[in-house]
Amino acid sequence: MYRLFKTLNRTAFIKALVASVVVVVLVLIGSRNLQNFDAALFAYLVGTVFAVFGIAYRYSVWLQRPPTRLYWQRSMQFLFSSMIFPYLFRSIKLFFRNIVGQRFIAYRSGTRWIGHFLMATGCMLAFAITIPLTFGWINFELKPGDDLTYFAKVFGFEAFSFSLGSPIAFITFHGLVWCSILVTIGAAIMMKRRLTNGGLIATQTFSDDWLPLILLIAISITGLGISYDYTFLEGRTYQFMAVTHAIVVILFLVWLPFGKFFHIFQRVAQLGANLYKKEGMRRGMAVCPHTKQEFATRTHIEDLKKVTEDLGFDYNRKEGINHMDLSPEGKRSALAKAHFEARKKSGKFFG
Amino acid sequence: MPETNYNQEMAFFVDMQRCIGCHACEMACAECETNGQESMIHVHYVDRAVSTQTTVQVCMHCEDPTCANVCPADAIHQDDFGVVHSADTSRCIGCSNCVLACPFGVPKKKEQAELMMKCNMCYDRTSAGKKPMCATVCPSQALYYGTREEIERMRPDSVPVNSFLFGKQEVNTKVNIMMPKGTHQLIIE
């Protein structure tokens, strides 16, 4: 316990605490002072607040690492510059392409993209439905004096209404069922890859690669169980279904900041990296002294020199050259040349 | 990592002076399942205008990998055997920090996939007690995977060196380079 306090990152702790308090305040405001809050979802709320705390803490610690900090600062600096509109437009476009659509995965493998896209879309839709419900931001009520019209209230304001038994009602009330189907199919595709791909079999671990898939399937199946129960079993097994679902979802929420799912939040940094490259190209390219060709942006090379220095590396070579000034090919050639010289000096190239 | 048969008595030995530029290693590298059929090894002329010398470069698996240190996404991981693995596909944001910071010029960036990939010493094979693909096909044994005793017997005038000096920075690696006897470090001034 003492070690826990000793290693506590103060900045991260304060930021995490603030984020958690903000969530609680948003719940109070959004649910109109808990008037629209669904008490049955209290356990989910506790899990979500814990997840927010953990994610904010880890994110803050992560941003304190020299390379991450630099990327973060540069992304903000480049975004909020005179180029704000083209860069904002570019970032929004890339957000839809790479975060919502995850198109970059398609270049890694087609099947993998389909699997990941189904899984991620199912999860994102499920978050979009469950988080506002858990926070009491959305609630459904029957129209007074009309027991056939249901209306949805968002932040306490009437947003839209629909007739019970209509196709819209069916689609809305089964929103999480559609999500479960997407997630289950996606996770099954990813599991098949992990069972058949030799490279993955050699490097995968249970906690990082299998547990997230098992957990997603468990959430989906237990969630479908609730629907199955009220549709076909007249609610006879409701308690069992509801409790098992709550257990796996809360496990997922508590584990969210620690395990593989943290990549969901890290992935946004890809937008920053893209912006960094774009602005770097505008500022000018670095030319390798060996190949005499452009190989990276000058900003990137200068920043890397600083980052490696911050991390305790000193790649300064004689005559004011830094090893980072060379392109990857230049570095390989420098090594080969030094090796050649050492062999030549010894008088023997082989043996 | 899952249960493995990784043999820690086996080591990797590279001798660029023996490279004849045949590219057999490149073809073999693409057979490695952990790379997804992408060749990760580098073979090229050192300075084509003045010499026909070619060089071959695998990942040297540094003890304190610069690539992993500069990774903003914590995507590069070193296992208990000292093997520095290719970027974690779920974390890599494709920033190219590792590509540009590696002192040996090893990692490759797959632009459209927004992913860094590099040699991970054919982990699918070495973790099963087999040799890396490149070392099994190299005709001149510029790339050799075996025990220290074997290489010392085969190359009596050379010594395996795993320490490099890039200007002021010392880098120690898991992979060895064959140097003239009596050498302890390869200095890149």
Give how far B55 is from chain A: nearest CA, Å: 6
Calpha distance B35→A217 (Å, rounded): 28
Q: What residues of A are in contact with residue B120 (Cβ under 8 Å)? A: 203
Average pLDDT of A34-38? Answer: 90
Average pLDDT of A225-229? Answer: 94
Question: Residue B126 belongs to what domain range?
Answer: 10-65+122-188
Task: List the beta bridge partners of residue B109.
Answer: B116
The whole-number pLDDT of residue B187 equals 95
> Is residue B55 situated within a structural domain?
yes
Residue reference for tokens 């044994």: B141
The three-state secondary structure class of A263 is helix
Give how far B148 is from chain A: nearest CA, Å: 15
Calpha distance A142→A309 (Å, rounded): 64
Calpha distance A114→A111 (Å, rounded): 5
Pairing of strands B10-14, B169-180: parallel
Average pLDDT of A36-57? Answer: 95
- Which of B100, B102, B172 best probes binding to A when mutated, by most A CB atoms within 10 angstroms? B100
The whole-number pLDDT of residue A164 equals 85
Nearest CA in chain A to B3: A202
> Is residue B78 situated within a structural domain?
no
**Residue A147 pLDDT > 90, yes or no?**
no
Tokens found for residue B170: 């010392």
Calpha distance B169→A250 (Å, rounded): 48
pLDDT in tens, B166-180: 999 999 999 999 999
Q: What residues of A are in contact with residue B35 (Cβ under 8 Å)? A: 199
Supply φ then ψ for residue A9, to 5 degrees: -90, 110
| Domain positions in chain A | 110-204, 286-346
* Position B72, amino acid: P
- Which of A190, A339, A350 best probes binding to B when mutated, by most B CB atoms within 10 angstroms? A339
Tokens found for residue A192: 């098949």
Calpha distance B53→B77 (Å, rounded): 33
End-to-end distance of chain B based on CA atoms, in angstroms?
A: 38
Calpha distance A276→B70 (Å, rounded): 16
Give me the DSSP letters along A211-252. Answer: HHHHHHHHHHHHHHHHHHHHHHSTTTTHHHHHHHHHHHHHHH
The whole-number pLDDT of residue B45 equals 94
The whole-number pLDDT of residue A321 equals 87
Taking all residues of chain A, what is their mean pLDDT, rounded to a whole number? Answer: 93
Supply φ then ψ for residue B46, to 5 degrees: -80, -50
**Residue B2 pLDDT > 70, yes or no?**
no
> Is residue B104 situated within a structural domain?
no
The CATH number that applies at residue B15 is: 3.30.70
> Is residue B111 situated within a structural domain?
no
CB A339 within 8 Å of CB B186: yes
- Which of B4, B63, B88, B114 best probes binding to A when mutated, by most A CB atoms within 10 angstroms? B114
Q: What residues of A are in contact with residue B102 (Cβ under 8 Å)? A: 328, 331
**Nearest to B15, CA basis, from B186, B181, B178, B185:** B178
Supply φ then ψ for residue A195, to 5 degrees: -90, -20
Tokens found for residue A145: 């004096």
The whole-number pLDDT of residue A1 equals 61
The whole-number pLDDT of residue B95 equals 95
Task: Give ∠ CA B148-B152-B158 in degrees, rounded to 5.
Answer: 120
Average pLDDT of B3-32? Answer: 93
Q: What residues of B are in contact with residue A338 (Cβ under 8 Å)? A: 186-189
Task: List the beta bridge partners of residue A150.
Answer: A142, A162
> Is residue B177 situated within a structural domain?
yes
Rg value, chain B, Cα: 16
Average pLDDT of A100-124? Answer: 96
* Range B168-189 burial, b when 16+ CB lie within 10 A, else e: ebebebbbbbbbbeebeebebe
Q: Give the confidence band of B63 by pLDDT, cuts at 50, 70, 90.
A: very high
Task: Give ∠ CA A179-A184-A187 in degrees, rounded to 5.
Answer: 120
> Is residue B117 situated within a structural domain?
no
pLDDT in tens, A260-313: 999 999 999 999 999 999 999 999 999 999 999 999 999 999 999 999 999 999
Give me the DSSP letters along A162-218. Answer: EETTSHHHHHHHTHHHHHHHHHHHHHHHHHHHHHH-HHHHHH--IIIIIHHHHHHHH
Calpha distance A43→B69 (Å, rounded): 39
The residue with greater pLDDT, A161 or A132, is A132
Give chain B's domain count.
Answer: 1
Contacts of A331 by beta carbon, 8 Å cutoff, 6+ apart: A323, B102, B103, B104, B105
pLDDT in tens, A308-344: 999 999 999 887 889 999 999 999 999 999 999 999 9
B158·A308 Cβ contact <8 A = no
pLDDT in tens, B84-143: 999 999 999 999 999 999 999 999 999 999 999 999 999 999 999 999 999 999 999 999
The whole-number pLDDT of residue A144 equals 80
Calpha distance A169→A110 (Å, rounded): 35
B72·A67 Cβ contact <8 A = yes
The whole-number pLDDT of residue A140 equals 87
Kindly state the helix (H) or strand (E) to which residue A203 belongs, with its residue range.
helix A198-203
Supply φ then ψ for residue B166, to 5 degrees: -100, 95
Give how far B161 is from chain A: nearest CA, Å: 11
Kindly state the helix (H) or strand (E) to which residue A305 belongs, with its residue range.
helix A298-310
Tokens found for residue A50: 């814990």
